Structure 1
Amino acid sequence: MFFYQSGFAQVHLPLSLGVTYQHGLVLVHSPKIRHLQGVQPQGVEINLQYQTTGTKFWHQQYQYPRLGLSIIALNYKEPTLGKSLAASIYLNKLIHRQKQHTLSMRIGTGLAYFSNHFDRRLNATNNVISAPFNAVIQLRTEYERLINSTFSVVAAAGINHYSNGGNSKPNLGINIGTLSLGVNFYSYRTIDRLVQPWPVVNHPLTFTISGSAGVKQRDDFDTVSYVVKSAAIAAMRQLNPKSTLLLGLEGFYDPSLIPRRNWDPRVKPGTSPDIKRVAFNFGHELAIGKLGFGTYVGWYAYRPYKSDAPFYQRLEMRYPITRFIYVAAGLKLHDLIKADVIEYRLGLRLWNKQK
Structure 2
Amino acid sequence: MKHLVTAHPTGFELNLQRQLNGSQPWHAWHRYPKVGLALVYYDYHNRALGQSCAASAYINKTIWRTERQQLNFRLGSGFAIFPNRFDLETNHKNTFVSSRLNATIQGRAEYDVALSPKVGLLMALAFNHYSNGATAKPNLGINMPTLMLGLNYHQRRVFTPLPVDAATDVPADLGKNFWNITTALAFKQRNESDTRLYTVNSVTVLAGRRMNRKSNLLVGLDGFYDRSLLAEQRDTVSGGRAFQDVKKAGVMVGHELLFGRFAFITHLGVYLYNPYKSNNFYYERIGMKYHFTERLFGSMDLKVHRGSADALEWKVGVKL
TM-score of the aligned structures, taking structure 1 as reference length: 0.85
Any conservation in 1 of the 2:67–2:157 contact (CA below 8 Å)? no
Tell me whether 1:81 sits opposite 2:49 in the alignment: yes
| Of 70-79 and 127-136, the range deviating more from structure 2 | 70-79
Name the structure 2 match of 1:349.
319
Per-residue CA deviation, residues 260-293 of structure 1 (Å, 9 max, x unaligned), is 223446x896132111111111111110111011
Supply the AA of the counterpart residue of 2:144: I
Cα shift at 1:98: 2.7
Please give the alpha-carbon distance, in whole angstroms, between the structure 2 residues aligned to 1:286 and 1:307. 31
Name the structure 1 match of 2:290.
319
Please give the alpha-carbon distance, in whole angstroms, between the structure 1 residues aligned to 2:289 and 2:107. 20
Please give the alpha-carbon distance, in whole angstroms, between the structure 1 residues aligned to 2:219 and 2:190. 29
Q: Which residues of structure 2 form unaligned runs of 5+?
A: none
Cα shift at 1:37: 2.5
2:63 aligned to which of 88, 91, 95: 95
Please give the alpha-carbon distance, in whole angstroms, between the structure 2 residues aligned to 1:149 and 1:61. 28
Tell me whether 1:176 sits opposite 2:148 in the alignment: no
Any conservation in 2 of the 1:201–1:240 contact (CA below 8 Å)? no
Supply the AA of the counterpart residue of 1:180: M
Please give the alpha-carbon distance, in whole angstroms, between the structure 2 residues aligned to 1:345 and 1:115. 28
Supply the AA of the counterpart residue of 1:314: R
Tell me whether 1:237 sits opposite 2:209 in the alignment: yes
Any conservation in 1 of the 2:4–2:94 contact (CA below 8 Å)? no
Q: Which has the higher contact order (CA 8 A, sep 6+)?
A: 1
Any conservation in 2 of the 1:261–1:305 contact (CA below 8 Å)? no
1:299 aligned to which of 267, 270, 275: 270
Partner SS, residue 148 of structure 1: coil
1:254 aligned to which of 218, 222, 226: 226
Give the RMSD, CA atoms, in angstroms.
Answer: 1.6
Per-residue CA deviation, residues 103-131 of structure 1 (Å, 9 max, x unaligned), is 11111111111121101111000001101
Supply the AA of the counterpart residue of 1:348: V
Any conservation in 1 of the 2:216–2:257 contact (CA below 8 Å)? yes
Tell me whether 1:333 sits opposite 2:301 in the alignment: no
Partner SS, residue 94 of structure 2: coil
Name the structure 2 match of 1:145.
113
Any conservation in 1 of the 2:6–2:46 contact (CA below 8 Å)? no
Partner SS, residue 194 of structure 2: coil
Cα shift at 1:99: 3.1
Percent identity between the two aligned chains? 38
Please give the alpha-carbon distance, in whole angstroms, between the structure 2 residues aligned to 1:239 and 1:273. 41
Name the structure 2 match of 1:282.
253
Q: Which residues of structure 1 form unaligned runs of 5+?
A: 1-32, 351-355
Partner SS, residue 260 of structure 1: helix
Name the structure 2 match of 1:222.
194
Please give the alpha-carbon distance, in whole angstroms, between the structure 2 residues aligned to 1:297 and 1:181. 36
Please give the alpha-carbon distance, in whole angstroms, between the structure 2 residues aligned to 1:239 and 1:120. 50
Tell me whether 1:130 sits opposite 2:102 in the alignment: no
